Chains A and B, each alone.
Chain A
């Protein structure tokens, strides 16, 4: 049986080019800094995070009611609503709608859900041409790659690489790498696609229950350009996208772009409460594992996520291992939170230092580090600890819980570090030692030091 590579193995591929890793890490940190400035410019930011979290928790706890209300309102707006329990049902529904309208070419705007469902290859197999229209998405589509980030999907590519790709696929001059000129070329190419498409499909940022409307946010305008030309528009949404009303949507909208890229709002935040004149509007509501996640109290909170990408940008592991090392469509902390149960390498929950930076930046207070630690526990309970950890972790546990054993072991380690040349013991430190120097060993242990100092300080410090 094929088993996915471990996170460490995937990361090793990415880390071969050290300069690229530094460049990647810096580009993302740049986004994090912009986010910090944008957040600081809103005095009530922390209040918004708290309210954002409460809105999402409340909606999730009454999700059945809100979904039914949303459907009812959509029907009043003339929108056709479809329900899909999993990815394959979602894809089949989309295909059926498109086939009824004899669609040959579909323009799509960014949707992590359709990536999650692997919709593109499915539709292509059935003879429908699918064009991703977000610039970053189009770049990786032409490059036959999945997104490496949920907001900036081509963040792993350098402009020279995009230039070479466009030279081959879009006939731009050889050696062209100027972002403005490359963007112009893509604009021209995609204009032709928009004007010749038979239908448009988008993801959904928020679905407003009491209106029966969907909100779609883009900076480029690709969603609105796509949706408003052909007769047929389809929007796919996870059940977790529901918010009760417009007031709630505003709380999230104020944080989404600020937390994603440091912009006060996306250029276009469009509310579709029905189709264009003589048009047709469909919404596909998808579960695909979300109700399973909701059965676990800790994992359930991952559904508060609004997919801003903030936790990826701040994550020290994501920044230095890249989006392709997570064995899931969504990488980074939120990718671990919602994808670890599918990870057959059983290593992804360990692609985390538990530093908690992600939970700190999250606009809806998804407790990412807590969820990731929980995934480790779940893997252990299922007997699926990654190779190695399974064998040495119980031993480490025994060692750590016995002071005598631990003291003996540490004394021999200190001795070894002092007397044996480091180049001889370094291989024993495994992956940890690959990019690190071994520590200089102290002459005595903390335990010994503590006992000595406590003894000498006795009677002086116990008056408070």
Chain B
């Protein structure tokens, strides 16, 4: 449904008076896409990017991150933490709630990520990951939890943001977000404080 058609037409008519040259071409952006970079090099770059935005990469030498994550989740639950998991094979102790507001007590949310960007440590999560295990997942989960844990396949790292569109999924009506580290602010005298409104920490398990 569209409203204010009169205003729409007024704006479009006013744009007809624009003095900007109509011949400005859309620039060709294809040269910005990266060409073959070794996966190991991408992991190194991603770790640097993630650290620069105060996130933490977990990639044990034996490569077995999933077992490590299982152990850590068991420990957290033992400590009395409220853990919710959307990752296949990792069991938390909380279920998806009816209302998004009820997620406010979640200490740890464990979620799959689609891909990550090496240059800035940003990790993309979209509706498909949110709803993969539970179609009733609330979009607020990665923001409202006290700590966020993302599980990322090591083959899903791209070099720069220009390589991201090929990997992003954003279907009709969807939601998706790049998450680069825990929430932070520097609004009081430019002093960096981690944990503004969203998660206090971000850990990324590379599998």
Contacts and interface: CB of A to CB of B under 8 A. Distances in A.
Contact of A58 (B25, B144, B174, B199): B25
Contact of B121 (A42, A133, A246, A264): A264
A222 B143 CA distance: 9
A460 interface: no
B179 A267 contact: yes
Count chain A CB atoms within 10 A of each CB in B162, B173, B187 and give the residue with the most: B187
A15 B21 CA distance: 43
Interface stretch (B2-10, B72-80, B86-94): B2-10
B189 A267 contact: no
Contact of B20 (A60, A93, A182): A60
Interface in B79-108: 100-101, 104
A159 B198 CA distance: 22
Contacts of A31: 190
A355 B60 CA distance: 53
Contacts of A51: 27, 29, 32
The 5 A-B pairs at the shortest CB distance, nearest first, are namely A221-B198, A274-B173, A264-B120, A220-B196, A291-B14
B191 interface: yes
Contacts of B174: 273-274
Nearest to B48: A264
Contacts of B20: 57, 60-61, 294, 297, 300
A191 B186 contact: no
Contacts of A61: 18, 20-24
Contact of A55 (B10, B22, B26, B136): B26
A271 B176 contact: yes
Interface residues of A, number: 96
B188 A179 contact: yes
A44 B33 CA distance: 12
Interface of B: 1-5, 7-8, 10-12, 14-27, 29, 32, 49, 52-53, 100-101, 104, 117, 119-122, 136, 138-140, 143-144, 160-162, 164-165, 168, 170-191, 193, 195-199
* Most-contacted residue by chain A among B14, B20, B32, B182 (CB, 10 A): B20
B197 A133 contact: yes
A80 B1 contact: yes
A246 B168 CA distance: 10
Contacts of B8: 71, 83
A51 B27 CA distance: 7
Given A219-B185, A228-B143, A247-B29, A81 B3 contact: yes
A178 to B, nearest CB: 9
Interface in A239-254: 239, 244, 246-248, 250-251, 253-254
Given A220-B196, A246-B168, A297-B20, 10 more contacts: A162-B189, A195-B101, A220-B184, A221-B199, A224-B140, A269-B180, A270-B178, A274-B173, A291-B11, A300-B20
A75 B4 contact: no
B32 A251 contact: yes
Interface string A242-286: 001011101101100000010111111111111111000000010
A170 B127 CA distance: 37
B187 A135 contact: yes
B191 to A, nearest CB: 4
A136 to B, nearest CB: 4
Nearest to B5: A83
Contacts of B138: 228, 276
Contacts of B32: 44, 51, 251
B193 A225 contact: no
A274 B172 contact: yes
Contacts of A265: 53, 117, 120-122, 161, 178, 180
